[in-house]
A and B are shown apart, each in its own frame.
Chain A
Amino acid sequence: MLECVDLQCERGHRQLFDRLSFRVDAGQCLQIAGDNGAGKTSLLRILCGLLSPNSGEVRWQGRPINRVRDEYGADLVYVGHLNGVKDDLTAAENLQVWAAMADLPTSAEQVVQALRMLGIERFAHWPAGQLSQGQKRRIALARLAMAARARVWILDEPFNALDRGGVQVLNQMIEQHVARGGAVVLTTHQSWEAPVPVTRLDLPAGGGA
């Protein structure tokens, strides 16, 4: 589904990786591993299309992602370092707005369901600014529960700020997503007991030469 060809990325005159090629198929879970500064986040942002590589390209269904941005976006959920949650909106409003912007038809019931899945339906009508980091992370991850038809999940340190219960829930969601034939690309620096078989991609230490 997703294919990377000869990616090369430089940040601030330092080469992070070079001639990086790999593919992610349906039902595959790919974990990007590497030290701090190895370029994990940059690679994920390149995969999303937020960052363009210095050379090489990312292809979605065989076509470069910057040509099929809209189709690719509809099939992608990205949870980055930043939660993308507005402090002045409630948890439920945050999800509703996100779905409306992505043109996902969503009922109030679906929003509550997604929040329930993440165990934060009690806070549905609280302003997100009054919630803890972990709870905000759960709002961000609730997007995964809402966009069931999205085929690719790209998760940057999704377990950050999550407690044990949260990790369990996310593991469950990843398991179901992979079982449905979805693909997951994620980074994590915590020891992670993956619920599904994981392919590992190691980025060269210290950003390579």
Chain B
Amino acid sequence: MIGSLLAVLRRDLLLAVRQRGDVANVLMFFVIVVTMFPLGVGPDKDTLRLIAPGVVWVAALLSAIVSLGRLFALDYADGTLEQIMLSGQPLSLTVLGKIAAHWLVTGMPITVMSVALAMVFDMAAVPGGALVASLLLGTPCLSLIGAVGAALTLGLRGAGVLVTLLVLPLYVPVLICGALAVDRATAGLSPAPWLMVLAAFSLGATVLAPWAIGAALRVSVE
């Protein structure tokens, strides 16, 4: 059973390596959205330091949304999704493999990139560290929740906009907890409570989302 999870994970990573451009695009999108803000707000260091966590988090949400379009759509179009569903393996496990791969090629690079961005915004080490930690713990949740939306809108016309409307509101708790963690670190308190809440969100989503995704895919493929 775990074999099928690993097989899908390995396949999606291999595909990501073969389609490097698509992976790089999401990361570029993330960086570009973040770098727009200093241009719009002005170069005042104190303001930038203040808005940095929110900006980076919102950009991470948007990047996650942008990357969702490819999550199931390609497999659906070429028939591999049907084959996955008929493989005789629990769909929720295979789906978990797909999401793990999705996180490794979107959430993780975004987290790594945010280290550089925190420096660009002149964040101090502790709040900057809290930001990176909050992204590390929160981005898996983005992939998991986003996948539910992607599965529900699979094969629909205008799925891109619909999935944004469907998923962004669900990202709000993650965004708030991420921002609060950084706030506490800035105020000299420990960000740990909010980081733990984020970790709890991600763990909870890991348990619940695969079932929802599996059921949604079965409906969408009909």
A88 at the interface (CB under 8 A from B): yes
Stretch in A32-40, A47-55, A117-125 with 4+ CB within 8 Å of B: A47-55
Tell me if B89 and A83 are in contact (CB < 8 A). Answer: no
Would A103 and B78 be within 8 Å (CB), given that A70-B90, A71-B88 are in contact? no
Q: How far is the CA of A71 from the CA of B88 in the complex (A)?
A: 6
- Across-interface contacts of B19 in A (CB, < 8 A): 88
Tell me if A50 and B87 are in contact (CB < 8 A). Answer: no
Tell me if B18 and A101 are in contact (CB < 8 A). Answer: no
B94 at the interface (CB under 8 A from A): yes
- Across-interface contacts of B84 in A (CB, < 8 A): 101
- Across-interface contacts of A87 in B (CB, < 8 A): 78
Q: Which residue of A lies closest to B7 (CB)?
A: A100
Question: Beta-carbon contacts of A51-95 to B below 8 Å, as 1s and 0s?
Answer: 110000000000000000111111110101111111111000100
A98 at the interface (CB under 8 A from B): yes
Q: How far is the CA of A83 from the CA of B90 in the complex (A)?
A: 22
Would A51 and B89 be within 8 Å (CB), given that A80-B82, A82-B82 are in contact? no
Tell me if A84 and B7 are in contact (CB < 8 A). Answer: no
Tell me if B82 and A50 are in contact (CB < 8 A). Answer: yes
A97 at the interface (CB under 8 A from B): yes
Question: Which B72-122 residues have C-beta < 8 A from chain A?
Answer: 77-80, 82-90, 94
Tell me if A83 and B86 are in contact (CB < 8 A). Answer: no
B70 at the interface (CB under 8 A from A): no
Stretch in B8-16, B42-50, B159-167, B176-184 with 4+ CB within 8 Å of A: B8-16
Tell me if A89 and B88 are in contact (CB < 8 A). Answer: no
Q: Which residue of B lies closest to A76 (CB)?
A: B86
- Across-interface contacts of B222 in A (CB, < 8 A): 50-52
How far is the CB of A101 from the nearest CB of chain B, in Å?
A: 5
Tell me if A89 and B14 are in contact (CB < 8 A). Answer: yes
- Across-interface contacts of B15 in A (CB, < 8 A): 86, 88-89
- Across-interface contacts of B190 in A (CB, < 8 A): none
Q: Which residue of A lies closest to B11 (CB)?
A: A97
Q: How far is the CA of A86 from the CA of B83 in the complex (A)?
A: 12
Tell me if A78 and B89 are in contact (CB < 8 A). Answer: no
How far is the CB of B218 from the nearest CB of chain A, in Å?
A: 8
A179 at the interface (CB under 8 A from B): no
Tell me if A50 and B4 are in contact (CB < 8 A). Answer: no
B200 at the interface (CB under 8 A from A): no
Tell me if B83 and A101 are in contact (CB < 8 A). Answer: yes
- Across-interface contacts of B78 in A (CB, < 8 A): 82-87
Q: How far is the CA of A78 from the CA of B87 in the complex (A)?
A: 10
A102 at the interface (CB under 8 A from B): yes
Tell me if B83 and A50 are in contact (CB < 8 A). Answer: no
Q: How far is the CA of A165 from the CA of B18 in the complex (A)?
A: 32
Tell me if B88 and A82 are in contact (CB < 8 A). Answer: no
- Across-interface contacts of B3 in A (CB, < 8 A): 100, 103
Would A84 and B11 be within 8 Å (CB), given that A50-B221, A103-B89 are in contact? no
What is the interface of chain A, defined by CB distance below 8 A to chain B?
48-52, 69-76, 78, 80-89, 93, 97-98, 100-103
Could you give 14 example pairs across A and B, Cβ below 8 Å? A50-B85, A73-B86, A73-B87, A73-B89, A80-B79, A80-B82, A82-B79, A84-B83, A85-B78, A86-B78, A100-B4, A100-B7, A101-B83, A101-B87
Closest 8 CB pairs of A and B: A82-B79, A73-B88, A100-B7, A74-B88, A84-B79, A84-B83, A88-B18, A102-B87
